[in-house]
């Protein structure tokens, strides 16, 4: 059973276990009809059949991968660097999308723009309010990823991000009235 320590074998095993769990628990519990159902005196395929086929294929793929791995040398696939990187990129997305979502509404609330009772929703089609979130969120997203790729922290990376966000505004928002930049479709 030494070969089960190979990363590909672990992937195969994971596929088999996930497939069995899904077939045994998830599919029966989370579908409205069985594999086959009888409606108005006729048999028809139920909603559970297609997912059951897909998970059965997953189990078969896992077993096949275990079989394929027997004779192949072990190779390192996922390292802690991949996990750290994934955590980092999710953090960048969380922060920059939060900036995208809340900068406009917070600026309107703090500056009291639009008068009594007016919120961001009323101003979301008005310059500059409608661009604030996208410009800040977009520039921080691009700038942070350039910093990550370069392994350096520089202000000009965020300025490049700002230029990219402004280019997107020029491309999508200025010429087309019916296209909404983030977050203006959500607020």
Token readout for 68 is 């394929």
DSSP the chain: -GGGGSHHHHHHHHHHHHHHHIIIIIHHHT-SS-SEEEETTEEEE-TTHHHHHHHHHHHHHHHHHHHHHTTSPP-----HHHHHHHHHHHHHHHHHHHHHHHHHHHHHHHHTTTSTT--HHHHTTSTTHHHHHHHHHHHHHHHHHHHHHHT---HHHHHHHHHHHHHHIIIIITT-TT---TTTTT-
Among 4, 24, 67, 109, binds other proteins (CB under 8 A): 67
CA–CA separation, 102 and 142 (whole Å): 18
Total of chain residues touching other proteins, rule CB under 8 A: 76
Provide, rounded to whole angstroms, the least separation between the CB of residue 122 and other proteins.
Answer: 18
User: Residue 124: which of 140, 142, 103, 139 has the closest Cα?
Assistant: 103
Provide, rounded to whole angstroms, the least separation between the CB of residue 5 and other proteins.
Answer: 16
73 near other proteins, judged by CB under 8 A: no
| From 96-104, 111-119, 121-129, span contacting other proteins (CB under 8 A) | 96-104
| From 60-68, 103-111, 118-126, span contacting other proteins (CB under 8 A) | 60-68
Residue 115 or 185: the one with the smaller Cβ distance to other proteins is 185
Cβ neighbour number for residue 94 with a 10 Å cutoff:
10
| From 85-93, 108-116, 118-126, span contacting other proteins (CB under 8 A) | 85-93
Among 45, 118, 159, 174, binds other proteins (CB under 8 A): 45
Residues 118-177 that bind other proteins (CB under 8 A): 138, 141-146, 148-151, 157, 160-161, 164-165, 168, 171-172, 176
| From 22-30, 107-115, 118-126, span contacting other proteins (CB under 8 A) | 22-30
Provide, rounded to whole angstroms, the least separation between the CB of residue 101 and other proteins.
Answer: 6
Residue 112 or 172: the one with the smaller Cβ distance to other proteins is 172
């Amino acid at each position: 059973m030494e070969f089960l320590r190979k990363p590909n074998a672990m992937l195969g095993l994971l596929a088999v276990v996930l497939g069995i769990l899904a077939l045994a628990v998830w599919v029966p519990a989370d579908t409205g009809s069985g594999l086959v159902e009888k409606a108005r005196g006729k048999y028809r395929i139920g909603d559970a059949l297609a997912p059951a086929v897909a998970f059965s294929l997953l189990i078969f793929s896992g077993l096949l991968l275990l079989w394929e791995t027997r004779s192949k040398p072990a190779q390192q696939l996922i390292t802690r660097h991949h996990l750290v990187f994934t955590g980092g990129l999710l953090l960048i997305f969380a922060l920059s999308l939060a900036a995208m979502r809340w900068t406009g509404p917070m600026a309107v609330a703090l500056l009291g723009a639009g008068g009594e009772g007016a919120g961001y929703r009323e101003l979301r089609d008005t310059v500059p309010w409608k661009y604030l979130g996208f410009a800040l969120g977009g520039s921080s997203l691009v700038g942070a990823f350039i910093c990550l790729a370069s392994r350096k922290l520089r202000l000009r990376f965020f300025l490049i991000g700002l230029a990219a966000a402004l280019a997107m505004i020029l491309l999508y928002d200025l010429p087309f009235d019916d296209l909404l930049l983030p977050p203006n479709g959500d607020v």
